Structure 1
């Protein structure tokens, strides 16, 4: 079992930044912050005030907390990551997407500010939508944005969590949605979509991606694919029986990160993220329920970078 790093005694800036994060992002009261940090209510109040006065908290956390840095180093060492960012714990009951979104947005902005034009490929989902919603507007016309996954929901509507067009509005960059269903009804229908010349051009562009940002979904009974209506209960049951553990861009894999050759994988539109390719493939995901899916994706190097939160990072390191 890997040893989870124990943080050194936190600095005053660490404590203030964490208190400000819990107050402004987690919505905790000063009494709750005091209990979480193990300090008096008066000290919690002073820490929040210091976080604001010293600019540690703006819209985002601008001070890197030592415990998070330790976890980033441990994740990088354990999984051989190219990038690792760990968001501070935002308090009990707070949606983990709220914690990771500003940190993920900073990672995307870092890429968008590169002068050399890149092909940036994106998956979909709550985490990626949160990332795009949290980012600043940046003029980045030198880049091209392309979706890895179809943007048509089962009822024919646009997929609610598609992010390419939302991102393009913020960065004013050329963008290429994947004009196919997320999952087609039949293999023949999926083949017919992929035979279309416009689809083939988008697929080829996605395969040339210089940088990839994707969410990571679990395949347990609370699977996002089931919750969002892309698979049926029977389809999920069949894939679980075959060892389904996680999914990236709609493609389902087992506990070793090997993609399954069955179920909806035979009807999934878009482009699969191939393991081990020499380009950044950054997973944006948090929540301890995602730990097995994340571990498998990291093991197979479907993703080689990670943005997550403290509880998820610790869960990964104790596997």
Structure 2
């Protein structure tokens, strides 16, 4: 007698989860068995089934029922038109591996759709992981543009800038914003933005209908501080102003309200008004990012989110 439909769906879901653990998480079959609470033979069969079902390609093409449920709940709560939740395959604070795979899949699909002549991108560790996971492909019909300044305050290169690597992977034109993310003063910002090349790139950034971005936390260990974009005392000013999350250099409190600080007048990135006219999809997750992601979701600026199971569950418990 054939197994009930629900049982078959559960088995297929378990097979995809096993594939994530094995191929993306790098776990041995015995470790997969421990994670799933099954025998090693069962884990082997599940991984084989994922292969036979065509779920395992460059990236794993399949759905996990628990993740789908989280996607639906987050989309409904925060008014998103797109949400993807990937499984946690290890205990890393920031699951760069799985987020990178999912982000690469999203970006590849958007490029292949042919709907975008121009795609805007942020920078940061998670987006850099997405570009690293992206296969080489022909995207010469698409242009990419940076949405924010790509240099540190001392004009050194940002180690997590993605534009050059994206151009190498796709053969497409990628336009960088060759200025610091945060100028030293409001006056310096005006001078930087008055340069013709910078003005042109800023105009392109504003026009990009799809913006693919990361989300930053607001604390002394935030990536903005660690990468040298801003000084520790500057992020402390944002904390004192009740800032919780950061999106393209704009800061938000827990209710999603924009937070004005000294940094605001020095930020070299697309304006909030231009962001409101776009489809913004963010990728991010990790134990330290839930509140930050929640604050940006509350702003209503995001149309899409790619995150991990642990963060998704945390988002649904936020007040």
| Common fold by TM > 0.5 | yes
Q: 3-state SS of the aligned residue for 2:179?
A: strand
Alpha-carbon separation, structure 1, partners of 2:8 and 2:50: 18
Could you say which residue in structure 2 is the equivalent of 1:198?
A: 197
**Shift in Å at residue 89 of structure 1?**
1.6
Could you say which residue in structure 2 is the equivalent of 1:32?
A: 31
Equivalenced residue count is: 313
Alignment of 1:46-195 (within 5 A): 46-93=45-92, 95-195=94-194
Residues 1:41 and 2:46 aligned together: no
Could you say which residue in structure 1 is the equivalent of 2:248?
A: 249
**Shift in Å at residue 43 of structure 1?**
1.8
**Shift in Å at residue 45 of structure 1?**
2.9
**Shift in Å at residue 256 of structure 1?**
2.4
Residue 148 to residue 312, structure 1, CA distance change in 2 (3 Å) = same
**Shift in Å at residue 10 of structure 1?**
5.9
Alpha-carbon separation, structure 1, partners of 2:21 and 2:290: 23
Residue 156 to residue 282, structure 1, CA distance change in 2 (3 Å) = same
Alpha-carbon separation, structure 2, partners of 1:24 and 1:114: 27
**Shift in Å at residue 139 of structure 1?**
1.7
Alpha-carbon separation, structure 1, partners of 2:229 and 2:99: 25
Deviation readout 1:160-203 (Å, 9 max, x if unpaired): 11112221222222221112111122222111101112111111
Q: Does the 8 Å contact 2:159/2:227 carry over to 1?
A: no
Comparing 263-272 with 126-135, greater Cα deviation is found at 263-272
Residue 290 to residue 272, structure 1, CA distance change in 2 (3 Å) = farther
Q: Does the 8 Å contact 1:275/1:303 carry over to 2?
A: no
Comparing 152-161 with 128-137, greater Cα deviation is found at 152-161
- Scaled by the length of structure 2, what TM-score is found? 0.91
Residues 1:302 and 2:301 aligned together: yes
Alpha-carbon separation, structure 2, partners of 1:278 and 1:49: 45
Alpha-carbon separation, structure 1, partners of 2:165 and 2:231: 28
Q: 3-state SS of the aligned residue for 2:150?
A: strand
Could you say which residue in structure 1 is the equivalent of 2:225?
A: 226
Alpha-carbon separation, structure 2, partners of 1:118 and 1:148: 15
- Scaled by the length of structure 1, what TM-score is found? 0.91
Q: 3-state SS of the aligned residue for 1:289?
A: coil
Gaps of 5+ in 2: 1-5
**Shift in Å at residue 80 of structure 1?**
1.0
**Shift in Å at residue 103 of structure 1?**
1.1
Residue 68 to residue 182, structure 1, CA distance change in 2 (3 Å) = same
Deviation readout 1:68-124 (Å, 9 max, x if unpaired): 111111111111102111111212237411011111111111211133442211100
Q: Does the 8 Å contact 2:85/2:309 carry over to 1?
A: yes
**Shift in Å at residue 238 of structure 1?**
1.7
Q: Does the 8 Å contact 1:218/1:245 carry over to 2?
A: yes
Q: 3-state SS of the aligned residue for 1:262?
A: coil
Q: 3-state SS of the aligned residue for 1:146?
A: strand
Q: Does the 8 Å contact 2:284/2:307 carry over to 1?
A: yes
Alpha-carbon separation, structure 1, partners of 2:281 and 2:126: 12
**Shift in Å at residue 215 of structure 1?**
0.2
**Shift in Å at residue 316 of structure 1?**
0.8
Q: Does the 8 Å contact 2:181/2:229 carry over to 1?
A: yes
